[in-house]
Amino acid sequence: MENKKMKVLVTGAGGYLGTQIVSYLDQTNFYSLRLLTSKIDLIEKLNLINSEVVSVPFFEISDFTNICDGIEMVIHLSALDNKECLENPSFAIYFNITQTMRLIAAASQLKIKRFIYMSTIHVYGNALKKKTDNDRIEINENTLTEPLTTYAITHKSAEDFILSICSQNGIEGCILRLSNSFGYPYNINNLSGCKLLVNELCNQSVIDKKLVLKSGGKAVLNFMPVSSICYLISEILKANFSVHGIFNLGSNTSLSIYEMAKLVAKRCLLKFNYEPEITIPTHFKNSQITNKQNDFYYSNEKIKKFGFLNNLDLEKEIDLTILQFFEYNKLRNECIH
């Protein structure tokens, strides 16, 4: 007898993270997915077999009841990015907050079991800034949130509404504060995900055979492989215990931008026998670049206790990303010629 598949709604299914997550979940054959996205052409290219598509723009929906009907779990990924929030703050408030409120209200009315929301590390805002060059930044879920941008403020507000409504209605609300994800984007033709730092470096290493930084490379970031995100989401869906609360979602590795560029160059050397040159803008060249790995600690201990972060392999994800960019550009060049 075939096991009953869990019914999961995924908003923002056509975005960078959305396409990665739904492709992974669909292949497990554990889930029956309902995908909320207007990017039909992109979803069709994924060749999903356990998914249905609701092709309505997220911002046009005034009542999510029908969309949530029959759903057991929700993965909410729809949100305007930082650039879109800067360009239209009022629409960002409507899209990221008001529409999230409508979605969680419908989900709670229908008594879904679990609501997963992809938030951002940027809700910590001011706490992410070093006060002096010698400061060591340590961030955990108890760190004061001081969001500084419309993007971060709207995500923090959405978090508050989700947790409040979930608590009042006996639903699990799982907030994931994601650091800097990377991995080869499914929707490369739309350039979504290609501008993420590591993805851009991997693409440069293939196309230009050099890595051009836009800064001195001293800023330290935490990096999270997208394959690990997909695995973690699936484990949260299957968890037979409560995952209600706020969780930092990051790896054990924080590197300066320059150190990450060096790592990409090293992996390129191992995979393709050449090492891309790293260049930085002229006005940064006199600044000293030192090892910054210990300057920033983004604690993932809270979610790690669940056993969801067992496969955090940055080098493997970088290798795969370089290889996939290589294959894509090779195929594109063959088509041109």
**Tens of pLDDT along 155-188?**
999 999 999 999 999 999 999 999 999 999 887 6
Residue among 32, 29, 59, 26 nearest 45 (CA): 26
- When pLDDT is averaged across residues 70-89 and rounded to a whole number, the result is 96
DSSP, collapsed to helix, strand or coil, labels residue 178 as strand
Mean pLDDT of the chain: 91
Q: What is the mean pLDDT of residues 250-258?
A: 92
Q: Which residues of 257-285 are buried (b: 16+ CB within 10 A; e: fewer)?
A: bbbbbbbbbebbeeeeeebbebebeeeee
Any idea which of 127-136, 137-146, 205-214 has the lowest mean pLDDT?
A: 127-136
298 — pLDDT class (breaks 50, 70, 90)? very high
Specify the amino acid at residue 136: R
| Rounded CA separation 92/249 (Å) | 23
Enumerate domains of the chain plus CATH numbers.
6-183+224-251 (3.40.50.720), 188-218+255-295+313-336 (3.90.25)
Per-residue model confidence (pLDDT) at position 1 = 42
The DSSP letter of residue 201 is: H
CB 71 within 8 A of CB 112: yes
Please determine, for residue 189, whether its predicted confidence score (pLDDT) is greater than 70: no
Determine how many CB atoms are found less than 10 A away from the CB of residue 294: 9
Q: Is 58 helix (H, G, I), strand (E, B) or coil?
A: helix
116-126 pLDDT tens trace: 999 999 999 99
Write down the pLDDT at residue 218.
Answer: 87
**The pLDDT value given to residue 294:** 61
* Whole-number Å distance between alpha carbons of 121 and 293: 18
Task: Return d(Cα 46, Cα 38) in angstroms, integer.
Answer: 15
Among candidate residues 243, 234, 237, 99, the one with its CA nearest the CA of residue 171: 243
Query: For 29-41, what is each residue's pLDDT tens digit?
Result: 999 999 999 888 8
Nearest to 314 by CA among 247, 232, 255, 274: 255
Closest CA to 279 of 196, 195, 214, 205: 214
Residue 133: closest CA among 13, 309, 288:
288
Residue-level pLDDT at 259:
95
